[in-house]
C-alpha cells in the first residue's frame, strides 16, 4: 500500500500486504460468513442430515453437531472464523443451539446484503440490528414458560428435544432418563449445576441400551498388577502426580561397574529406594493409589504385597474428578504424602465393561459425582452419542438453573419475527428497514426445518405464520407430518437460554462483520502470492492479486 505525496510514493505497509476497502471488503466478508452458515444449515432440526469430516490423516468424524463440524472444518478466512466463534460461544454458554446461532447469523448477513444493495448505510443496518436484537430479548422473556427444576417429565422432554435427530433416536428414551437422573443427582440445592461432576465415559461394544449411570467416578484403567485386590471397601485414596519408580538421573550418566558386588549394591539401592516410596504410601494409610505417572515393576510388587489397589497413567482430568469426588488432594511429590491428603470412597472395584477392565470408584465422599457409560456398536456411533448426551446434559442443567423454557420447532422465531415487524413499523425511517430485515432473518429457522424435512418451506412458513397471527404463540412445525401444530402439545421444549444466546451472539457477529469496511492483511512470508489467507470456503475469500494495491 502506498500514498502519493507531491509525486513521491510513501510506503505505509510492508510489501506484500494487501488491502481491500468499502463494498469489496464487506462483500467478501459477508460471502465467506454466509458460506459457513450454509455449510451447517442442512444439519438443522430433527430431519437434518449428517456430515462426514475427514481430516488430513484420514480420521473420520460423522456428526450432526454444528460446533463439531465447524471446529473440524479448519476454517481460515477471518470473517468465516467469526462464525465459528459464534458456535463456540453458544456451545460454552448453553451447549446446544450451535447450528441455530450460526444459521441466524448467516441469514442476518444475507438480508444485510440486500439492504446494502439498496444503498442503506452499514451503520444504519448495524444500529437497526442492535435495536432489533435488544427488542427480541424482551419478546423472548415475554413468551418464556416457567418450569420447576423438579419437574422430571419436563426435563426429560427438554433432553429429548436436544437429542432429536442425533443418531440416538432409537434409544432416546433410555438415554434421556439417564441424563435427567445424572443432572438431578449433581444439582445443588440452590439450583446450580456443575456438569463437570458428570463424567461421560465411552465404551465401544454392546448396544446403546446397555449405557448406564454410576454413582461415582469411572476410570478407564485397570489395576497394574493381578495380585492386587480387585475390590477395596472403605477405600482411603491417594492421588499422586509423581512416578513410583527409581529416580532416573536428569542427565545422561554412566555407571562403571568393575565388580559383581557393585552391581548387586546398585540393584539393592534401586530396590531400597522404591521400597522407601511404597513404605511412605503404606504409612499414610492409603489402600488405593491413583497415579498420574508410572509405577515400575518393583513398585508394583511391593504395592501388591501391601494389598494396595493401584492404577497408573491416570488422565489429569480424571485425577481432578477423583479429587472432587473423594475429597483427596492431588499430591505432587513423594515427600508430601500424608494421611491428611487422602480421600475416601466406600468402594473401589475393578469390573469388566464389554470385555475391558475399568475401575469404579463408588459411594464417594462427595455424592455429587456421577458417571455415564455410553455404549454403542461402533466408535462413530459412540462418539456421536457422546456429543448428543453432552448437549442433553447441558440443556437440562441450564433449565434446572434458569427454570425458563420456550417451545421449539420454529415457534419462538416466528413469534419474534411477527412482533419485530410490528415494532419496526413503530420505529419508522431507515432503521425500520433494518429491523424488518432482522425479523425476516429469524424465519430462516422454521424455513430450514421445513426444507431439511423435504417439505415446502413457503407453504409451511405461511401456515405457521397464519397461526401466530391468530395468537397461537406456540405453533411450530411438525416435521414428521408437515403441518403447523402446537409444540406445547407435541412436547418439544428448549431452554430459553438457547434462544437468547443464539440471537444475541448471531446479532453481535453480524454487526461486527458489517461494520468492517477495510481489510488490511499483512503478508504471510511463506505464501507465494502473499496477502490474505485463502479463506477456502466456496471459492471465496482470497483476494484477486493486485487488488489490495491502492
Ligand atoms: N420434534 C421436533 N419437532 C420440530 N422441531 C424440533 C423437534 N426437535 C427439535 N426441533 C428443532 O430443531 C432445532 C435444533 O436442531 P439441531 O439440529 O439440534 O441444531 P442446534 O445445533 O441448533 O441445536 C430447534 O429449532 C428445535 O426446536
Ligand atoms: Mg440441538
Q: What is the 285 CA–ligand 1 centroid distance (Å)?
A: 53
Q: Known catalytic residue: 98?
A: yes
Q: What is the mean pLDDT of residues 139-146?
A: 96
Top mean-pLDDT range of 72-76, 267-271, 287-291: 287-291
Exactly one of 31, 99, 164, 326 is catalytic; which is it? 99
The answer to whether 385 and 374 have CB atoms below 8 angstroms apart is: yes
How far separated are the first and last CA of the chain, in Å rounded?
6
- Band (pLDDT 50/70/90 cuts) for residue 546 is very low
Q: What is the 409 CA–ligand 1 centroid distance (Å)?
A: 6
Write the pLDDT tens digit of every residue in 210-241. Answer: 888 888 899 999 999 999 999 999 999 999 99
Residue 542 has pLDDT above 80, yes or no: no
How many other C-beta atoms are found inside a 10 Å radius of the C-beta of residue 141?
12
HSE-CB of 116 using CA atoms within 13 angstroms: 19
Q: What mean pLDDT is reported for the chain?
A: 87
Q: Known catalytic residue: 65?
A: yes
Q: Residue 343: its pLDDT value, please? A: 93
Q: What is the mean pLDDT of residues 466-476?
A: 96
Q: What is the 471 CA–ligand 1 centroid distance (Å)?
A: 22
Q: What phi and psi values does residue 29 have, to the nearest 5 degrees?
A: -60, -45
The answer to whether 239 and 331 have CB atoms below 8 angstroms apart is: yes
Q: What is the mean pLDDT of residues 239-266?
A: 80
Of the listed ranges 168-172, 306-310, 433-437, the one predicted with least confidence: 168-172
Does ligand 1 come within 6 angstroms of the Cβ of 479? yes
Q: Directed axis angle between helix 411-427 and helix 429-442, to 10°? A: 170
Exactly one of 98, 311, 414, 500 is catalytic; which is it? 98
Does ligand 1 come within 6 angstroms of the Cβ of 165? yes
Q: Known catalytic residue: 391?
A: yes
Write the pLDDT tens digit of every residue in 401-438. Answer: 999 999 999 999 999 999 999 999 999 888 999 999 99
Which residues partner with 198 through β-bridges? 370
Ligand nearest to the CA of 101: 1
Residue 530 has pLDDT above 70, yes or no: no
Ligand 1 atom at shortest distance from the alpha carbon of 408: 27
Pull the grid cell for residue 531: 496477502
Q: Known catalytic residue: 318?
A: no
Pull the grid cell for residue 31: 460471502
Instruction: Say what percent of the chain tops pLDDT 90.
Output: 57
Q: Which helix (DSSP H) or strand (DSSP E) does residue 101 occupy?
A: helix 98-117
Q: What is the mean pLDDT of residues 88-95?
A: 92
CA distances to 315, 409, 461, 529 from 219, in Å: 9, 39, 49, 51
| Closest CA to ligand 1's atom 4 | 409
Of the listed ranges 8-17, 235-244, 308-317, 319-328, the one predicted with least confidence: 8-17
Pull the grid cell for residue 155: 426435563
Q: What is the 395 CA–ligand 2 centroid distance (Å)?
A: 9
CA distances to 14, 79, 113, 390 from 85, in Å: 29, 10, 21, 19
Residue 3 has pLDDT above 90, yes or no: no
Candidate from 67, 408, 411 with most ligand 1 atoms within 8 A of CB, to mutate:
408
CA distances to 47, 99, 251, 528 from 450, in Å: 9, 15, 66, 45
CA distances to 69, 82, 134, 154, 185 from 108, in Å: 21, 14, 15, 32, 40
Does ligand 1 come within 6 angstroms of the Cβ of 446? no
Would you say how long the chain is, in residues?
A: 550
Give the dihedral of Cα atoms 170, 172, 175, 177; nearest 10 deg: -130
Pull the grid cell for residue 377: 456398536
Q: What is the 11 CA–ligand 1 centroid distance (Å)?
A: 53
d(CA 398, CA 392): 10
The answer to whether 24 and 547 have CB atoms below 8 angstroms apart is: yes
- Band (pLDDT 50/70/90 cuts) for residue 133 is very high
Pull the grid cell for residue 132: 432489533
Ligand 1 atom at shortest distance from the alpha carbon of 67: 21
Q: Residue 525: its pLDDT value, please? A: 59
Does ligand 1 come within 6 angstroms of the Cβ of 506? no
- Band (pLDDT 50/70/90 cuts) for residue 109 is very high
Ligand nearest to the CA of 161: 1
Q: Residue 6: its pLDDT value, please? A: 66
Q: What phi and psi values does residue 510 have, to the nearest 5 degrees?
A: -60, -45
Does ligand 1 come within 6 angstroms of the Cβ of 409? yes
Ligand 1 atom at shortest distance from the alpha carbon of 98: 21
Residue 169 has pLDDT above 80, yes or no: no
Amino acid at each position: 500500500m502506498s500514498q502519493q505525496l507531491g509525486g513521491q510514493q510513501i510506503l505505509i505497509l510492508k510489501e506484500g500486504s494487501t488491502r481491500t476497502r468499502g463494498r469489496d471488503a464487506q462483500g467478501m466478508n459477508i460471502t465467506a460468513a454466509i458460506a459457513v452458515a450454509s455449510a451447517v444449515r442442512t444439519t438443522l432440526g430433527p430431519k437434518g442430515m449428517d456430515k462426514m469430516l475427514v481430516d488430513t490423516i484420514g480420521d473420520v468424524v460423522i456428526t450432526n453437531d454444528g460446533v463439531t463440524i465447524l471446529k473440524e472444518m479448519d476454517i481460515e478466512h477471518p470473517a468465516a472464523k467469526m462464525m465459528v466463534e459464534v458456535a463456540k460461544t453458544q456451545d460454552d454458554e448453553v451447549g446446544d443451539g450451535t447450528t441455530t446461532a450460526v444459521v441466524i447469523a448467516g441469514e442476518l448477513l444475507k438480508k444485510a446484503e440486500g439492504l446494502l444493495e439498496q444503498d442503506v448505510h452499514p451503520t444504519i443496518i448495524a444500529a437497526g440490528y442492535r435495536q432489533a436484537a435488544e427488542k427480541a430479548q424482551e419478546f423472548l422473556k415475554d413468551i418464556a414458560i416457567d418450569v420447576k427444576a423438579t419437574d422430571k417429565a419436563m426435563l426429560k422432554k427438554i433432553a429429548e428435544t436436544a437429542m432429536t435427530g442425533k443418531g440416538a433416536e432409537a434409544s432416546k428414551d433410555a438415554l434421556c432418563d439417564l441424563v435427567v437422573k445424572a443432572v438431578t443427582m449433581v444439582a445443588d440445592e440452590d439450583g446450580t449445576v456443575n456438569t463437570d461432576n458428570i463424567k461421560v465415559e465411552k465404551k465401544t461394544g454392546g448396544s446403546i441400551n446397555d449405557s448406564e449411570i454410576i454413582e461415582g467416578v469411572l476410570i478407564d484403567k485397570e489395576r497394574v498388577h493381578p495380585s492386587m485386590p480387585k475390590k477395596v471397601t472403605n477405600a482411603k485414596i491417594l492421588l499422586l502426580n509423581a512416578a513410583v519408580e527409581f529416580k532416573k538421573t536428569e542427565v545422561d550418566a554412566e555407571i562403571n561397574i568393575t565388580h559383581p558386588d557393585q552391581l548387586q549394591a546398585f540393584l539393592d539401592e534401586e530396590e531400597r529406594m522404591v521400597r522407601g516410596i511404597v513404605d511412605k504410601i503404606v504409612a499414610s494409610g492409603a489402600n488405593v493409589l491413583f497415579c498420574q505417572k508410572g509405577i515400575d515393576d518393583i513398585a508394583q510388587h511391593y504395592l501388591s504385597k501391601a494389598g494396595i489397589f493401584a492404577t497408573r497413567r491416570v488422565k489429569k482430568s480424571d485425577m481432578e474428578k477423583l479429587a472432587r469426588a473423594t475429597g483427596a488432594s492431588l499430591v505432587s511429590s513423594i515427600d508430601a504424602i500424608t494421611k491428611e491428603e487422602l480421600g475416601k470412597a466406600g468402594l473401589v472395584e475393578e469390573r469388566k465393561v464389554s470385555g475391558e477392565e475399568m475401575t469404579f470408584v463408588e459411594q464417594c465422599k462427595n455424592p455429587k459425582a456421577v458417571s455415564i457409560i455410553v455404549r454403542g456398536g461402533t466408535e462413530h456411533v459412540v462418539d456421536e452419542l457422546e456429543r448428543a448426551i453432552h448437549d442433553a446434559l447441558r440443556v437440562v442443567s441450564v433449565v434446572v438453573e434458569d427454570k425458563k423454557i420456550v417451545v421449539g420447532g420454529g415457534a419462538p422465531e416466528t413469534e419474534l419475527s411477527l412482533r419485530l415487524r410490528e415494532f419496526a413499523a413503530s420505529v419508522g425511517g431507515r432503521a425500520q428497514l433494518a429491523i424488518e430485515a432482522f425479523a425476516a432473518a429469524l424465519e430462516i429457522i422454521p424455513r430450514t426445518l421445513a426444507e431439511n424435512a423435504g417439505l415446502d418451506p413457503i407453504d409451511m412458513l405461511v401456515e405457521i405464520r397464519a397461526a401466530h397471527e391468530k395468537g397461537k404463540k406456540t405453533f411450530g412445525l411438525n416435521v414428521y407430518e408437515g403441518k403447523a401444530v402446537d409444540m406445547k402439545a407435541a412436547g418439544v421444549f428448549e431452554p430459553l437460554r438457547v434462544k437468547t444466546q443464539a440471537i444475541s451472539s448471531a446479532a453481535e457477529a453480524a454487526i461486527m462483520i458489517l461494520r468492517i469496511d477495510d481489510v488490511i492483511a499483512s503478508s504471510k512470508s511463506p505464501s507465494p502470492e502473499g496477502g490474505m489467507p485463502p479463506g477456502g470456503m466456496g471459492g471465496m475469500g482470497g483476494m484477486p492479486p493486485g487488488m489490495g494495491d491502492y
